[in-house]
Amino acid sequence: MKLIGHYLSPFTRRVGVSLHALGVPFELQFTSTVQTPEKVRMHNPLVRIPALVLDDGEALVESYAILDEIDQMVGPDRALVPPSGRQRRRVMQVTAIALASMDKQQWAFYERRFRPEEKVHQPWIDHNESQSLGGLRRLEELTAHAGSGWVAGTPRLSQADITTAVVVSFIMLIRPELKQQLPHLCRFTDRCEALPAFKSAPMPPSQPGRPGYVQLPG
Ligand SMILES: N[C@@H](CCC(=O)N[C@@H](CS)C(=O)NCC(=O)O)C(=O)O
């Protein structure tokens, strides 16, 4: 299998970490929507990363749908989202909050990244950032409550832990000033980042003196 994308993308990285956590073999094929859009389009008509190309050539898109298929591949006993009941609901909900926090941060980030300076609308950035912060504060409460356990209260690592930690690592790269407000969430993220599955799918380092600026290879 080939994972199309790169690990600065939290959506790609949560798939990479999940594959490593489950021991499913794959190859990361570095592809960027900005630098190599045609290579992305070959696998995803929306020209977004990630895509997962299966061994028979079929390409899957959208991280939630890719992760659902990976859970199907490994079966209900190993799946990162529990198959049913209260634990499934909690894992789905925590994952949804983490992912929505990322979506809103991305909307704010893209406003500055893709619009000419004179067309950037600061109130829209503020609106999205405050929605994202709402989600992050909820995750802060959940990780404070979880202590040394997992964020959704599961007995082992779940998709809620992977998505939360991957999202928080990315957000702290672009908004390091938030760290002070979210101490439990940052500690939880550090704990996850120390796990082999996270280390095997590392986020590219930020350039010194330019937080959030990462030179993509290729
Ligand atoms: N909902 C998508 C989001 C994917 C996404 O936004 N990926 C970003 C990179 S982090 C991307 O491809 N952006 C290019 C664009 O949307 O134009 C998923 O979960 O896979």
Residue 99 shares a structural domain with residue 69: no
Mutation to probe ligand 1, out of 49, 52, 69 (largest number of atoms < 8 A from CB): 49
pLDDT band with cut points at 50, 70 and 90 for residue 204: confident
What tens digit of pLDDT does each residue of 103-118 get? Answer: 999 999 999 888 999 9
* pLDDT in the model for residue 218: 43
Q: What is the mean pLDDT of the chain?
A: 94
* pLDDT in the model for residue 22: 98
123-128 long-range contacts (CB < 8 A, ≥24 apart) are 128/104
Q: Does pLDDT of 43 surpass 70? A: yes
CATH number of the domain within which 65 lies: 3.40.30.10
Q: Does residue 207 lie in a domain region?
A: no
9 Cα nearest atom in ligand 1 = 10
Q: Is the CB of 63 under 6 A from ligand 1?
A: yes
Query: What is the chain's percent helix, strand, coil content, to nearest 5?
Result: 55, 5, 35
Residue 90 shares a structural domain with residue 186: yes
Q: What percent of the chain has pLDDT over 70?
A: 94
Residue 45 shares a structural domain with residue 120: no
Kindly give the distance from the C-alpha atom of residue 77 to the centroid of ligand 1, in angstroms, as a whole number: 30
Give nearest CA residue, ligand 1 atom 13: 48
φ/ψ region of 108 (left if φ > 0, alpha if ψ in -120 to 50, else beta) reads alpha
Residue 61 shares a structural domain with residue 18: yes
What tens digit of pLDDT does each residue of 114-158 get? Answer: 899 999 999 999 999 999 999 999 999 999 999 999 999 999 999
Residues of the domain holding 38: 2-74
Beta-sheet strands, E only, within the chain: 2-5, 27-30, 51-53, 59-61
61 Cα nearest atom in ligand 1 = 20
Q: Does residue 214 lie in a domain region?
A: no
* pLDDT in the model for residue 210: 53
